[in-house]
Amino acid sequence: MIGDKTCAPEEDCWALVEQGVYLDGNVTLEVAMPMFANTARAFIPVVTLAGEDEPPNLWGALYHVDALQAYNEALAAVSREEHS
């Protein structure tokens, strides 16, 4: 949630969005993980894109550590399925 002390600062999120560093709210980890590798950021803003003449809506930010945890959990689940 924007404004929560544990969240990425909103002004930092908007600065990254202006630089073109953001994730659409509908992307998968398959898309997000390379973006972390390419940008070396601790977090990437998550937005929904509105119309061409409208600014995006900021949902919040995805932290690299959280993305890694989710990715590892997904890999573990696939491994369990393959070995059962």
pLDDT at 43: 97
CA-nearest of 28, 22, 32, 38 to 65 is: 32
Q: From the first residue on, what is the mean pLDDT of each consecutive set of 10 residues in the chain (84 residues)? A: 69 96 93 94 93 88 94 90 81
Q: Is 14 exposed, middle or buried (0-12, 13-18, 19+ CB in 10 A)?
A: middle
| Span 15-35, pLDDT tens digits | 999 999 999 999 999 999 999
Give the pLDDT of residue 5. Answer: 55
DSSP state of 27: -
**66 contacts 54 by C-beta, under 8 angstroms:** no
Spell out the domains of the chain, with CATH numbers in brackets.
10-82 (3.90.1280.20)
For residue 1, what pLDDT is reported?
45
Query: CB atoms < 10 A from the CB of 69, how many?
Result: 11
What is the predicted pLDDT for the residue at 4?
A: 52
